[in-house]
Amino acid sequence: MEPSVSGTLNSVLQRIDLRGANRPYGSHLPRLDLSADMPTAAVREILSKVRDGGDDAVRSLTAQFDGVDIVDFRVAPETLREAWEALDTGLSAALQVAHDRILEFHREERAQSHEVTQDAITVSSIPQPVERAGLYIPGGLASYPSTVLMTALPARAAGVKEIVVCTPPNPLGEIDQAVLAAAHLCGVDELYKIGGVQAIGAMAYGTELICPVDVIAGPGNAWVATAKQEVAGTVGIAAAFAGPSEIVVVGDESCPTSSAAVDLVLQAEHGPGGRAWLVTWSEQYADEVETAIGDILSLSPRHKETLETLTEGGYLCLVDRPADAVEVVNVIAPEHLQLMCDNAKELAGSIRNAGAVFIGNWAPASIGDYVAGPSHVLPTAGTARFSGALTVDDFQKRMHIIEVSKDGFDVVGPAVSELAQAEGLWAHAASVRERERWANEGIKP
């Protein structure tokens, strides 16, 4: 049986009815075509300008895209400190709570050195932090101090020596005070008033003012995400495709419809390009949630942005049973997944593809956005199939130290020689024979 897709004049979400539909569900569900939606040619042109023109190009592009002329991009460290000291006590306390929880989580999660010995050959595996990390924090018309915490603190826990932040200026050429305060709290070393593709280019290639970084992390729109893909290889790109926000809510009558509705809206209010899904096996529940979404939208100060996201990327998917909902989720591979239904924890055990999973009615994704501990920089656009959240691992690389004794060499040498000869690598095999000669001639190196 083929699924049906429908919508009414009064509906916000596009309905997809998979009840009785043939498996697998992948062909029945809308998927983002990243290659079609990415502004690759325009991004390459901007990156080329930054690479060749340095600071002057960044100034020109900032005037073009942000509408402001900025002479000195760097925000002085004392300005960050002053922003923190002037912050409202309620907000500073909230940032401190989030800071402490996030930092503790990542310190506990970071990899440790370990050593393995086999046949007198010892290999030490040592996590080494990158020297310099570049973080992109979206901004301009909105501000995200939480994203400063969610990117800078994993880098700090990893042991990164220098942390650089780029964030777009507002129409007055300024940066939100809460963002500056969060940067001070996290010990950010450099902060620049640069946004968009030009920020990614400046961090990747360097300019007269900005030294290039080793790794770039942080979310952004399709232009920023494309820019990160384009500079990959010049620098490391942390985590997966962190684009517009997404959420899937799997719900039933055990969750109040108003809660399911507001949780769909909370990610959609980030603005255009995102996606919000309700997956349920109860048509009555689906109808009631959609009605509740309309009520919540009428109260939202971000009504326009939220409605646009839900209209263009909102879906209501009907399935026969909870197991089918899990299958749908694994195909979508969402950034955020909320399981607000009976047996939510049991269902979570079958989820393979999701950036972050929130279990139960007391766990809205907003908890993860701010204070749960893991970074809220998560894979989007289906990339949760092969990637996960931003972690300390994104700011480290493994270095292996191999120590071989004479006894260890005697054990493995013949195998090395045999493999090298099979691959036609004469010098590889000769390196073993040379050391065998030492033993035969009594040479002690």
Query: Would you call 174 a catalytic residue per the annotation?
Result: no
User: Which residues are within 8 A (CB) of 386 and not within 5 positions of it... i.e. 6 or more apart?
Assistant: 240
**pLDDT for the residue 8:** 41
Q: Residues 190, 246, 327, 335: which is the catalytic one?
A: 335
Distance CA 103, CA 93 (A): 15
CB atoms within 10 A of CB 62: 23
Tell me which CATH homologous superfamily contains domain 37-239+392-397: Nitrogenase molybdenum iron protein domain (3.40.50.1980)
User: CATH 3.40.50.1980 spans which residues of the chain?
Assistant: 4-30+243-385, 37-239+392-397
Quick check: is 335 catalytic? yes
Q: Which residues of 322-354 are buried (b: 16+ CB within 10 A; e: fewer)?
A: bebbbbbbbbbbbbbbbbbbeebeebbeebebb
The continuous run of DSSP H or E covering 156 comes out as helix 145-158
Q: What confidence score (pLDDT) does residue 240 get?
A: 61
Give the pLDDT confidence score for residue 34 in this predicted structure: 61
The pLDDT of residue 239 is: 67
pLDDT of residue 221: 85
Q: pLDDT at position 302, please?
A: 81
pLDDT of residue 35: 62
Reading the chain (445 residues) residue by residue, the pLDDT tens digits are 555 545 443 568 999 999 988 888 877 888 766 666 678 999 999 999 999 999 999 999 999 999 999 999 999 999 999 999 999 999 999 999 999 999 999 999 888 889 999 998 999 999 999 999 999 999 877 789 999 999 999 999 999 999 999 999 999 999 999 999 999 999 999 999 999 999 999 999 999 999 999 999 999 888 998 999 999 999 999 866 667 789 999 999 999 999 999 999 988 887 777 899 999 999 999 999 999 999 998 888 888 888 888 998 999 999 999 999 999 999 999 999 999 999 999 999 999 999 999 999 999 999 999 999 999 999 988 889 999 999 999 999 999 999 999 999 999 999 999 999 999 999 999 999 999 988 787 888 7
Q: Give residue-wise pLDDT tens across range 265-294.
A: 988 887 777 899 999 999 999 999 999 999
Q: Choose the catalytic residue: 99, 184, 336, 376.
A: 336
Name the DSSP class of 234.
T
Architecture of domain 4-30+243-385: 3-Layer(aba) Sandwich (3.40)
- At how many degrees (to 10) do helices 426-441 and 406-422 cross? 150
Using an 8 Å Cβ cutoff, are 62 and 70 in contact? yes
Q: What are the backbone dihedrals phi and psi of residue 102, each rounded to the nearest 5 degrees, phi first?
A: -65, -45
